Structure 1
Amino acid sequence: MKLKDLAQHLGLSQTTVSRALNGYPEVSEATRQRVLDAARQHHYRPNTRARGLATGRAMAIGHVIPLSSKYEMVNPVFADFIAGAGETYSARGYDMVMSVVADGEEERAYVQMAGKGLVDGLLVHAPRSAQDARIPLLQRLGLPFVVHGRVGDAQDFSWLDIDNARSFQRATELLLDLGHRRIALINGLEFMDFAARRRRGYLAALSGRGVAADPALMQAREMTEPYGFRAAQQMLALPDPPSAFVVSSYITAMGVRRALSAAGLELGRDVSVVTHDDDLSYLSNQGEVPIFTATRSSVRQAGRRCAEIVLGLIGSEAAAPVQELWETELTLGLSTGPYRPGGGARRPPPHGPLASPVRRAGS
């Protein structure tokens, strides 16, 4: 299908359809969405090279990814985010330019992308919690960019984030309402903005109920399943173990669940867990009754929306920054229950060599 055919099908001018596909701000959001939906339905793909020659654009958006294992990029969460962004780029005839660089080389990569005219805009990942040198650099380069997350409080650039502080405050308050007082935090790397905000929300909830925070019940590492297992195992071995956990990742929460099982403890009965759930496409916590009580937000949808924002900024030099703060949805699952005295104490493994078979009634 050609642009002319798509325009005739929609009853719109070719100029309007072209502007909608290219993210021009003068096209209404309703019309833009109608055009995008029709383009997807009829598998319309614009000639990227021709468009680039006609508009003087690269028809590509850049993503710079640090190679270091310190950053939580090469994981299922990042994959879902990139999938969401890629869907939007493709629908509008844009490509994705991804540069994986060594530590300390991110800024050089941005300069090269801008200097060589490789991209029309940039999408920034994993903002730091205090100052992030990438932001003033990108502002000097003059390329449109969107940050997935935030940096501090004074911001004059486009970003999209979830309300991490409020989300983890609500999660901790739920556990407090259930009677828990020894509540552990298994967090992500706290030099990153999202994790720093989650810690603040957790501490605010404890302080609001007059519960003293215990440093022995707080850990911050890269969010992996083995990290969740080791952190929970260490905390459960404390003289006064936690009866509940707040966890920054569904993947990490699975490690916590493994540690509970190894300690002979039942998730949701002996120990409660609330996790953040990015609503991953192939690692789902959904169901009639989810496994984990969770603060939920779709990272794929965040990828789609970040891509829409950066495309909308291209060619709109006078446009004000777009800033969106999304609330998470707190969903109840099988992993939370009322506080039970002694519930977090370690027990003999349920399936050791001396364990007798468990029979259910009627068996």
Structure 2
Amino acid sequence: MNLKTLSELLGLSQTTVSRALNGYPEVSEKTRLKVQQAARKYNYSPNTRAQSLATGRAMAIGHVIPMSSNHEMVNPIFGDFIAGAGEAYAKAGYDMLLSVVPDSDEEQAYRRMAARGSVDGIIVHGPRKDDPRVAILKEIGMPFVVHGRMMGSETGYSWLDINNTRSFQRATDLLLDLGHKRIALLNGIETMDFAARRRAGYLEALRKRDIPIDPSLMFSEEMTEQNGYAVSKALLAGPNPPTAFLVSSYIMAIGVRRAIGRAGLTMGSDVSVVTHDDDLSYLKNGHDIPSFTATRSSVRDAGKTCAEILLGSIASGNEQPVQELWETELTLGRSTGPNPNKP
């Protein structure tokens, strides 16, 4: 079925039907629902090329992936984010354009996309401190949403982030309440905004309890299982091992759990672990009872919401920034218990 036939069945103009399917704000909600229901009933799928010609849009959203420096987001967590964003794109009739480029070519990738008109908007991943990409995208006039935000520069652009500072402060407080004082932080790469905020939350909790800051317990690494294992193995073999670990990634925490087991210790009784859990669709934190005590927020939901914010901005032409800060859920699992060394 083509657009003309669907329009005739509905008794509406092709322009109205097209605008209803593409989320234009001037179409009433009643008409929009009527058109969407008919499209589903008759299995109508818009021709992307025709939509592009009719609307002057590319009907695609861009994601630029640097090859080497942003390992923190080129991982399974990124895959779940993209799956969530893809749901929103498919619903709106949009495609996704992934561009993998050398780090030195990242700025030019944005400029090429804008010059060619190959995308209608960009989602920015893994923001860093003083990230130049926001200024570049503003300069070229490309609609964009940042997954995360830049510390010290949080106004004038759209972003969605979790409250990383409060999240890790609460997690550290939980371990302190259990009597732990030697708490190791296994963090992501701290040039990235989320990791810098998590360290800040950890340090704030320690300072408020007058716990001495020990740099030998703080690590900034790529969030892999192997790094989690290697760092925690070395710490547990030391002369004054930590009694608890605060970990920035569920995948990294699996490595910590392996090191605890290899050391002949039991997670949750001998050593406690709290991790951040992105609620991955294929790697769940246990079933009825979580394996790990965790600060949890779905990265798939974040992907879907980022895409919806961007698509809404493109459809309406509204340049007013949309900013959402999500709190994480602190869930208790089998990985935490009282400090066994506490008198």
**2:53 matched residue in structure 1:** 53
CA distance in 2, matches of 1:150, 1:214: 28
CA distance in 2, matches of 1:222, 1:311: 32
Comparing 101-110 with 71-80, which one deviates more in the overlay?
Answer: 71-80
CA distance in 2, matches of 1:33, 1:210: 58
**1:147 matched residue in structure 2:** 146
Preserved CA contact (<8 Å) 2:164 2:201: yes
What amino acid maps onto 1:73 in structure 2?
A: M
- What is the TM-score when the length of structure 2 is the normalising length? 0.91
What amino acid maps onto 1:173 in structure 2?
A: D
Give a deviation string over 1:341-363, Cα, whole Å, max 9, x none: 189xxxxxxxxxxxxxxxxxxxx
Q: 1:30 to 1:287 in 2, by over 3 A?
A: farther
Could you tell me which runs of 5 or more consecutive residues in structure 1 were left unpaired when the two chains were aligned.
344-363
1:294 alignment partner, SS class: strand
**2:319 matched residue in structure 1:** 319
**1:357 matched residue in structure 2:** none
CA distance in 1, matches of 2:272, 2:41: 45
**2:305 matched residue in structure 1:** 305
**2:200 matched residue in structure 1:** 200
1:245 alignment partner, SS class: strand
Q: 1:43 to 1:212 in 2, by over 3 A?
A: farther
**1:89 matched residue in structure 2:** 89
CA drift at 1:107: 0.5
1:203 alignment partner, SS class: helix
**2:265 matched residue in structure 1:** 265
Q: 1:31 to 1:301 in 2, by over 3 A?
A: farther
Q: 1:39 to 1:261 in 2, by over 3 A?
A: farther
Q: 1:181 to 1:252 in 2, by over 3 A?
A: same
When the two structures are aligned, how many residues end up with a matched partner?
Answer: 342
Give a deviation string over 1:232-267, Cα, whole Å, max 9, x none: 112112221111011000000000000001101101
CA distance in 2, matches of 1:170, 1:31: 47
1:74 alignment partner, SS class: coil
Preserved CA contact (<8 Å) 1:45 1:91: no
1:106 alignment partner, SS class: helix
Could you tell me which runs of 5 or more consecutive residues in structure 2 were left unpaired when the two chains were aligned.
none
Q: 1:279 to 1:317 in 2, by over 3 A?
A: same
**Equivalence map 1:1-363=2 (5 Å):** 18-26=18-26, 44-68=44-68, 70-128=70-128, 130-154=129-153, 155-341=155-341
Preserved CA contact (<8 Å) 1:66 1:106: yes
Preserved CA contact (<8 Å) 1:86 1:304: yes
**1:351 matched residue in structure 2:** none
**1:353 matched residue in structure 2:** none
Q: 1:92 to 1:264 in 2, by over 3 A?
A: same
CA distance in 2, matches of 1:182, 1:272: 11
CA distance in 1, matches of 2:28, 2:152: 31
Give a deviation string over 1:285-339, Cα, whole Å, max 9, x none: 1411010011111111111111111111114444310000011111111001111
Comparing 5-14 with 291-300, which one deviates more in the overlay?
Answer: 5-14
CA drift at 1:45: 2.3
CA distance in 2, matches of 1:68, 1:313: 31
- What is the TM-score when the length of structure 1 is the normalising length? 0.87
The structure in which a higher percent of residues are helix is 2
CA distance in 2, matches of 1:19, 1:133: 35
